[in-house]
Amino acid sequence: MSNTLQVPTMADMMNEGKTPEVLFWVGCAGSFDDRAKKITKAFVKILNNIGVDFAVLGTEESCTGDPAKRAGNEFLFQMQAATNIEVLNAYEIKKIVTTCPHCFNTLKNEYPALGGNYEVMHHTQFLKQLLDQGRLKIEGGRFKGKRITFHDPCYLGRANDEYEAPRELLRKLDVELVEMKSCKSRGLCCGAGGAQMFKDAEPGNKEVNIHRTEQALDVKPDAIAAGCPFCNTMMTDGIKNKEKQDAIKVYDVVEMIADVEDL
């Protein structure tokens, strides 16, 4: 297994006259945030390993407009959407997978009305599909028997009613899945959504991510699983705030799978 990642771009593919099975939408966090880049790479390693024919937009990708829309800037959102839809439609994209629930939600739910119709999947749904198709095999590994709690991203869970795909993947890792006080449809936000990631919080008596981290610590996990680069940052900061970073790590579900696969 080579260590170099094979990441073809849509432009490359087009030059070769090829059409990939799926477009991997990396997202801004996945492209630029140091922590999130590791999630991106873990996902690509799995795709490379099992030979999924995919491509990325690379420098042709731009923000989906989610933070602009949630901040109230409909105009900027629609400009982003129009630009992206033009690129996606030009490449005749049919299926998109993304490691960011915010990109997932926007592409899936808010692009169709503006002319962008694609089958959009969150990476945990995509991996679950690969698992069901027998293309991906997950067995036990170093998380076997470990207490893991899954933090539901709002834009995967409540916003799109997907609670099972990430949990099913975790169960395949033979972990001891423990649920926090607020989970699934009643899951508590990490505090980053609605463009909060990019601003200071309003005055209060606590940060939302600290509150959520406390809920996670209450179930005494060995590690916290997440499915969103922003949740990951918020939970990691929360754990650091509680000075537990040496004992408890925050992983994306895909990183745990890649780790088990020893990629």
Partner 1 sequence: MQYIPQIIFLAALGFAVWFFARNVKRLRRNILLGKDIDRTDNKPQRLKKMIRIALGQSKMVTRPIAGFLHILVYVGFVIINIEVLEIIIDGILGTHRIFSFLGPVYSFLIGSFEILALLVLISVIFFWTRRNVSNIMRFKTLKGWPKNDANNILYFEVILMCLFFTMNATDLQLQLNGATNYAEAGVFPVSSFLLPLFEGMTDSTLIIVERAAWWAHILGIFFFLNYLYYSKHLHILLAFPNVYFSNLKAKGQFSHNETVAKEVQMMMDPDADPYAMPEEDENAEPETFGASDVTDLNWFQLLNAYTCTECGRCTSECPANQTGKKLSPRKIMMDTRDRLEEVGKNIDANGQFKDDGNKLLDNYISREELWACTTCNACVEACPIGIDPLSIIMEMRQYLVMEESAAPMELNNAMGNIENNAAPWPYNQQDRLNWVNDN
Binding positions for partner 1, 91-120, rule CB under 8 A: 105, 108-110, 113-114
Contact with partner 1 (CB under 8 A): which of 1, 17, 51, 59?
A: 59
Closest to partner 1 by CB, 93 vs 175, is 93
| 154 forms part of the interface with partner 1 (CB under 8 A) | yes
| Phi/psi at 124 (5° precision) | -70, -35
- Rule CB under 8 A: say whether 179 interacts with partner 1: no
CA 47-4-39 angle, 5° bins: 50
- Taking the C-alpha atoms of residue 7 and residue 24, their distance in angstroms, rounded to an integer, is 10
Q: Using CA atoms, how far apart are residues 109 and 160, in angstroms rounded to an integer?
A: 9
Nearer to partner 1, 193 or 221 (CB): 193
Residue 2 near partner 1 by CB under 8 A: no
Site for partner 1 contains 260 (CB under 8 A): no
For partner 1, the closer of residues 13 and 68 by Cβ is 68
Applying CB under 8 A, does 193 fall inside the site for partner 1? yes
Q: Could you say which residues in the range 71-90 bind partner 1, by CB under 8 A? A: 71-76, 78-83, 86
Query: Which tokens go with 185?
Result: 């449809």
How many residues interact with partner 1 (rule CB under 8 A)?
75
The helix (H) or strand (E) run that includes residue 24 is strand 22-25
40 binds partner 1 (CB under 8 A): yes
Residue 257 sits in the site that holds partner 1 (CB under 8 A): no
Nearest to partner 1 of 133, 205 (CB atom): 205
Helix (H) or strand (E) holding 39: helix 34-49
Sole binder of partner 1 in the list 17, 51, 134, 204 (CB under 8 A): 204
Q: Does residue number 69 form part of the binding site for partner 1 (CB under 8 A)? A: yes
Binding of partner 1 at residue 20 (CB under 8 A)?
no
Give the residues across from 98 on adjacent strands: 25, 122
Report how many helices (DSSP H) and strands (DSSP E) the chain contains, helices first: 11, 8
Smallest CA-to-CA distance from 8 within 86, 91, 78 is with 91
Residue 56 as a binder of partner 1 (CB under 8 A): the answer is yes
Q: Is 228 exposed, middle or buried (0-12, 13-18, 19+ CB in 10 A)?
A: buried
| Sign of the C-alpha dihedral computed for residues 4, 94, 101 and 57 taken in this order | positive
Residue 218 interacting with partner 1 (CB under 8 A) = no
Q: How far is the CB of 58 from partner 1 (least distance, A)?
A: 4
Q: Which residue number, 133 or 198, has a Cβ lying nearer to partner 1?
A: 198
For 147, the 3-state DSSP assignment is strand
